[in-house]
Homo-oligomer: A and B are copies of this chain.
Amino acid sequence: MFKKISIFGVGLIGGSFALALKRAGAVNEVVGVGRRMETLERARQLGIIDHACSSVEDAVSGADLILVAAPVAQTETILASIAPHLRPGTVVTDAGSTKSDVVEAARMALGPKIAQFVPGHPIAGREQNGPDAAIVDLYAGKKAVLTPLPENSAEDVEKVASAWKHCGAIIHRLSAEEHDKVFAAVSHLPHLLAYALVDDIAHKPHAGLLFQYAASGFRDFTRIAGSSPEMWRDITLANQPALLSELDSYLEQLASLRALLAERNGSAIEAIYANAQRARHQWITTIEAAEKQNTQGGD
């Protein structure tokens, strides 16, 4: 049971975290901190937070747990504002989509208090943003990845894990480096590719005609291009080394596929398509089985 949880950024991610903990009866008081008073007031109206706090000192004081759920580029500034007020017994975590840069920022901002910071990343999202997008079930059955630091105590890591478990999430652990390589491949690169395609089409002289005939395949392929540009600019820059490496690997793949297309090599093209279809089918089957098991385990 948490007495007081303070959330820096009460949008989709922070707001859904608060709603889930409240429903679970796992927290007495939720405090919200943020850049825009309007957003905080909206979060209060929606029952996400109990009250908004304009003083970082008040927000940090007496909190068992602090969640930083803002675009990753703001992590260092926020942690630096928290640092002077941070007392033993308070654990700080985050929900950033990248981890190596967050750890680096946290070391800069928190200095000797770094042991109190347990980095995290819940693997869940929607294309909408802001407190109105927050939903109580966002994390149900989803993964929450923690990338604990050598300095963290087992007890503090467990405290953060227990909060995510109250939200219905399944806890996973990776190193920050592993985390960033994995998500560059399966999340950050697809976002970049989807944004790039829609922007490319939107700039063509006959864009209107093209959009008129775009259908459900295009809709799904580009769904992630509906995500927040600011948040994804930050993620793109924060995970730049791993993302560049994944992008280069994909560009090589496209170059060889282009060559096969130019020479009309139907059987080689079909082999790539068939391998992708098979791998995706196997993946879907595996995750569906895992989701079923998690649901049963939760009963």
Interface residues of A (CB under 8 A from B): 123-125, 142-143, 145, 172, 178, 181-183, 185-187, 189-204, 206-207, 209-211, 213-230, 232-234, 236-237, 240, 243-244, 247-251, 253-255, 257-258, 261-262, 264, 266, 269-270, 272-277, 279-281, 283-284, 286-287
Determine whether the beta carbon of A210 is less than 8 Å from that of B186: yes
Given contacts A192-B257, A204-B185, contact A229 B270 (CB under 8 A): yes
Q: A273 CA to B281 CA in the complex, in Å?
A: 30
Query: Which residues from chain B contact A207 at a C-beta distance below 8 Å?
Result: 279
Q: Are A197 and B201 in contact (CB under 8 A)?
A: no
A31 nearest CB across to chain B (Å): 29
A287-B218 Cα distance, complex, nearest whole Å: 12
CB distance from A292 to the nearest CB of B (A): 16
Residues in B neighbouring A185, C-beta threshold 8 A: 201, 204, 210
A185–B202 CA distance with the chains assembled, in angstroms: 11
Cα of A125 to Cα of B221 in the assembled complex, Å: 14
With a CB–CB cut-off of 8 A, which chain B residues contact A283?
211, 214
Report chain B residues within 8 Å CB of A253: 196-197, 199-200
Given A185-B210, A215-B186, A225-B280, residue A247 in contact with residue B254 (CB < 8 A): yes
In the assembly, how many copies of this chain are there? 2
A-B interface, 8 closest residue pairs, ranked by CB to CB distance from nearest: A229-B273, A202-B279, A198-B276, A229-B274, A233-B270, A186-B214, A199-B276, A195-B276
CB pair A220–B218 under 8 Å, yes or no, is no
Tell me the minimal C-beta distance from A132 to chain B in angstroms.
Answer: 16
Q: In whole angstroms, how far apart are the Cα atoms of A295 and B140 in the complex?
A: 34
B-chain residues with CB within 8 Å of residue A217 when the two chains form the complex: 125, 187, 190-191, 223-224
Give the residue name and chain of the B residue nearest to A217 (CB): B224
* B197 and A250 form a contact (CB under 8 A): yes
Contacts of A229 in B (CB 8 A): 270, 273-274, 276-277
Report the nearest B residue to A230, measured CB to CB: B270
Choice from B181, B218, B251, B284 contacting A219 with Cβ under 8 Å: B284
Q: Which residue of B lies closest to A214 (CB)?
A: B186
Q: Which residues of B contact A202 (CB under 8 A)?
A: 275-276, 279
Known A186-B211, A217-B223, A236-B266; further 14 A-B contacts with Cβ < 8 A: A186-B210, A186-B213, A192-B257, A195-B272, A195-B277, A197-B276, A199-B272, A199-B279, A202-B279, A226-B277, A233-B266, A240-B261, A247-B261, A251-B258
